Amino acid sequence: MKKMIVALLAGSLSLFASPTQAQSTAPSTSIEYSEKVHVEDGSAVTLYNHALSWTQEKFPYKPKTDIQVNPETKEISLTGTSKIKMAAAKASGPDQERVLHFNFQFRATEQGYSYSVGTFRVVPEEKEPTVMVLLEEYVKQLGQDRANARTRNDRRVTAQANAIASDVASAFRSYMNSQPVVKDGEVGLPPDGEE
């Protein structure tokens, strides 16, 4: 009798339990790095000028294209270029390279600034440099390739794009942190005798 009651209780509980969903083991391919940085006593003009200087002189992934600067709104955007490497479909073949484009965006306010690195796009065919595929779609295609079990190109490409996003973000943040702000619109150390 006790076994029958326990079985009935267990069965009725399973009717009310939420269904379990399988977890995907596929790598996440939506890659974006964004950050909002609060700057005490900040000046939107100074922050904008710092960022503009970095994008003009220090941006690490060239060639840069689609450069747009707006001094009124204190916004900057551009497209950076890099390359990703993939293992060849045949074990004896050479590694393959593909061009990778991504967007960098910046905006300054009196409270600080925000920036992002994202919207990654791959050029699948070197002969057609204007044809681009979103990284998410390209990784999905790589995952369906028969040789992917050996090459793991879907994971390789995702890891490389993540590394690029992280590198751009850390280079930018490091540059922004290295420039002391003296007065509104000025950069550098204060002249002797001024604090």
pLDDT for res 89: 77
Task: Please give the structure tokens belonging to residue 82.
Answer: 């890099």
Dihedral angle at the C-alpha atoms of 74, 101, 117, 148, nearest 10 degrees? Answer: 170
pLDDT digits 0-9 by tens, 38-60: 998 889 999 999 999 999 999 99
pLDDT for res 142: 92
Please state, rounded to an integer, the average pLDDT across all residues of the chain.
Answer: 82
Distances 80 to 29, 38, 59, 98, 117 between C-alpha atoms, Å? 19, 25, 8, 14, 10
Task: Please give the structure tokens belonging to residue 63.
Answer: 């060639």
pLDDT for res 81: 97
The DSSP symbol for 195 reads: -
pLDDT for res 10: 43
Q: Is the pLDDT of residue 79 over 80?
A: yes
Taking alpha carbons only, the member of 145, 48, 149, 159 closest to residue 106 is 48
- Long-range CB pairs of 65-74 (<8 Å, 24+ gap) are 65/101, 73/107, 74/44, 74/45, 74/47, 74/48, 74/107, 74/108, 74/109
- Which residue do the tokens 């100074």 mark? 46
pLDDT digits 0-9 by tens, 114-148: 999 999 999 998 899 899 999 999 999 999 988 88
pLDDT digits 0-9 by tens, 11-41: 443 433 333 333 334 445 578 999 999 998 8
Strands (E) located in the chain: 33-38, 65-70, 75-86, 96-109, 112-123, 133-134
Q: Which residues are paired to 105 by β-bridges?
A: 77, 116
pLDDT for res 6: 40
